[in-house]
Structure 1
Amino acid sequence: MTSRVTQASVTTIQQKPLAPKEVAADRVMTDDIFDESYREKEGPKPPMKIVWRNVIAMSLLHIGALYGLILIPSASFSTWVWSMFCSYFSALGVTAGAHRLWSHRAYKAKLPLRILLVLANSMSFQNDVYEWARDHRVHHKYSETDADPHNASRGFFFSHIGWLLVRKHPDVIEKGRKLDLSDLKADKIVMFQRRFYKPSVLLMCFIMPTVVPWYFWGESLKNAFYISSILRYASTLNLTWLVNSAAHMYGNRPYDKSINPRENLLVAFGACGEGFHNYHHTFPYDYSTSEFGWQINLTTFFIDSMCFLGLATSCRKVSKEVILARRLRTGDGSHRSG
């Protein structure tokens, strides 16, 4: 099934890809376009510095998540449904919010939707929108280099979770400071969340998911906390991290065989449509991150629904002609018909 959006809500991009100047003329922003002029510094790499606070926190989180798995049979069906709702809601705060809206400016969202997405993003607890978008733009601009925060060339573990357990490479920090983040700074919702991020995470990620099942249908606090909060949070984290790890290593490359990101349908299913990664790194400005609309892409369905309600507009979509020309020129020949 292909997505259906009102004609006024979609901007089809007709320009030929891979030309930053052309993209800039259409999009204004080029900070998510790969910078081929970047060169890694010669000489030995800086020593890896472990952040033990993060190691301990992530270890305790995953131990708690395993305990939550044990508790699942004793939880009510309503608690399972609530946990799944919180999982998808928090994921949309990353996929539709921090990623497609704020990192890539692939569509526009009105105030009520931006507030909703910021709340969902706080529930996801994956850094505030400002920091998430900054690091993600650096990831695209310097993908698979020392300046990439979760450089997949350093291995699966590093790109999945290891990058959060050590200090950033100096190039990541240096390049991040040089990005134009004026659009994020001008968004009052983004900066409000950044200012009150810790209390918002405490409320949205831990308190609300625990209190709702306990208060409304009498779930035990233990089940509510370890299943709806801890297990749900750890699961959403790992599904998001698979975009950085598995989707950069396993799958085909129908649009650009010269880059690492791959099309990975399992990741697309688990991460609400974010696994069409070869397409996304080839056309980062496409609001759908895929040419196949709603297929295994809950986030695109959500954005299209917001367009139908009038809360989202100006969705950027790459034309079929541009996609065809690109895959014939640089793809690996594995393209499937939509």
Structure 2
Amino acid sequence: MSNKGAKSLMNGEGKIPSCDGTEESSSGSVAERSEGKVGRREEIVWRNVILMTLLHVGAVYSLYLIPKAHLFTLIWAYLCFLVTALGVTAGAHRLWSHRSYKAKLPLRIFLALANSMAFQNDIFEWARDHRVHHKYSETDADPHNAQRGFFFAHIGWLFVRKHRDVIEKGRKLDFSDLLDDPVVWMQRKYYKSSVVLMCFVIPTLVPWYFWGETLWNSYFLASILRYTISLNVAWLVNSAAHMYGNRPYDKNINPRQNALVTIGAIGEGFHNYHHTFPFDYSASELGLKFNPTTWFIDFMFWLGLVTDRKQAPMEIIQARKERTGDGSS
């Protein structure tokens, strides 16, 4: 999954041009990578480093508060985590980045609000970077190129300015469909206020108002700890799922099938499959595999809020396994 990481905290890392052709900030001293080795000096964005450090320190402190919290607060924090995850997996990723299914207006509004709770950049920027990631995976044009190591793919990419290839290659892709959706446009316009409300205010106030939890516990557990965990789970799709696991569908690409990432990221760890068949709404072979995001989309289909789910035909999947897979499944 791409895009990813709390870049909304961080506007200094450099941006891909917006869909109207105007270029957002892309300053930074970078040089070409030669022969696949990193030989450039990075310009560190210290504000991002400091903010992410403080966030993780706050999350560690939050662990100390767990025994003191009301059980309902912990349940609420987990529910917020699930909503947060769906805003990325079912929303920014499978719906808006890949157009793997169509969603009616009420569902799109819910997913946009859930995406604001995720605080990983607005839908437009998340989907934009993710499309660049797929188009140029594991090159300098990939925002979180896993060839540069686990740390860079996980969080380090947020600590430095974007490589100029991310910006230059990104100019060549068409993102106009994203802002043709009024839900995407509205969320982008009011993103900061929606993040404050969805990521911090509502998660904090609900436990305090409904069962008398302290605001301190509510804030650190339902906001800070939940947010930090959700970020790291999303980042694992960029790092662990691009480095560790088997490749039953295409052994010639980096993304892997990673069971632990699948569990944490509610179905996004079938990454070798996803990069082989990115249009498939399930992001995995359908069946009894653990994929809560697919279950959610299927439930929305049953309710009539989802249409046009795209799937890779089983005969195509099997043929691809035999032709390019590593034989592991």
Fold shared, TM-score > 0.5 on shorter chain: yes
Shift of 1:178: 1.8
Question: 2:200 pairs with 191, 206, 219, which one?
Answer: 206
Hey, what does 1:282 align to over in structure 2?
Answer: 276
User: How far does the alpha carbon of each residue in 1:39-78 deviate from its partner, in whole angstroms, 9 at most, with x for none?
Assistant: x875985431111111111001000000111100000110
Q: Is the 1:156–1:246 Cα contact (8 Å) retained in structure 2?
A: yes
Shift of 1:258: 0.4
Asked if residue 334 in structure 1 is aligned to residue 320 in structure 2, the reply is: no
Question: 1:260 pairs with 247, 250, 254, which one?
Answer: 254
Shift of 1:214: 0.6
The residue type equivalent to 1:232 in the other structure is R
Show the 5 A alignment for 1:1-338: 45-293=39-287, 295-335=289-329
Identity of counterpart residues, as a percentage?
68
Q: Is the 1:294–1:300 Cα contact (8 Å) retained in structure 2?
A: no
Q: Is the 2:87–2:111 Cα contact (8 Å) retained in structure 1?
A: yes
Shift of 1:176: 1.5
Paired positions, count? 296
Which stretches of structure 1, 4 residues or longer, exceed 3 Å deviation after superposition?
Answer: 40-46
Q: Is the 2:73–2:213 Cα contact (8 Å) retained in structure 1?
A: yes
Structure 2 portions without partners, runs of 5+: 1-31
2: distance between equivalents of 1:97 and 1:148?
21
Aligned pair in 2 of structure 1 residues 294, 64: CA closer, same or farther (>3 Å)? farther
Hey, what does 1:27 align to over in structure 2?
Answer: none
Q: Is the 1:147–1:172 Cα contact (8 Å) retained in structure 2?
A: yes
The residue type equivalent to 2:48 in the other structure is N
Q: Is the 2:98–2:279 Cα contact (8 Å) retained in structure 1?
A: yes
The residue type equivalent to 2:124 in the other structure is Y
1: distance between equivalents of 2:118 and 2:302?
25
SS of the aligned residue for 2:311 comes to strand
Mean Cα displacement is larger for which, 236-245 or 174-183? 174-183
Hey, what does 1:10 align to over in structure 2?
Answer: none
Compute the RMSD of aligned alpha carbons.
1.2
2: distance between equivalents of 1:185 and 1:278?
29
Shift of 1:179: 1.1
Normalised by the length of structure 2, the TM-score is 0.88
Mean Cα displacement is larger for which, 82-91 or 42-51? 42-51
Q: Is the 2:300–2:306 Cα contact (8 Å) retained in structure 1?
A: yes
User: How far does the alpha carbon of each residue in 1:150-180 deviate from its partner, in whole angstroms, 9 at most, with x for none?
Assistant: 0000000000000111110000011122210
Q: Is the 2:33–2:40 Cα contact (8 Å) retained in structure 1?
A: no
The residue type equivalent to 2:152 in the other structure is F
Q: Is the 1:307–1:313 Cα contact (8 Å) retained in structure 2?
A: yes
Shift of 1:294: 5.4
Hey, what does 1:15 align to over in structure 2?
Answer: none
Shift of 1:185: 1.5
Normalised by the length of structure 1, the TM-score is 0.86
2: distance between equivalents of 1:50 and 1:91?
29
2: distance between equivalents of 1:330 and 1:242?
25
Q: Is the 1:293–1:300 Cα contact (8 Å) retained in structure 2?
A: no
2: distance between equivalents of 1:215 and 1:192?
29
User: How far does the alpha carbon of each residue in 1:4-41 deviate from its partner, in whole angstroms, 9 at most, with x for none?
Assistant: xxxxxxxxxxxxxxxxxxxxxxxxxxxxxxxxxxxx87
SS of the aligned residue for 1:105 comes to coil
Structure 1 portions without partners, runs of 5+: 1-39
2: distance between equivalents of 1:55 and 1:233?
17
The residue type equivalent to 2:322 in the other structure is L
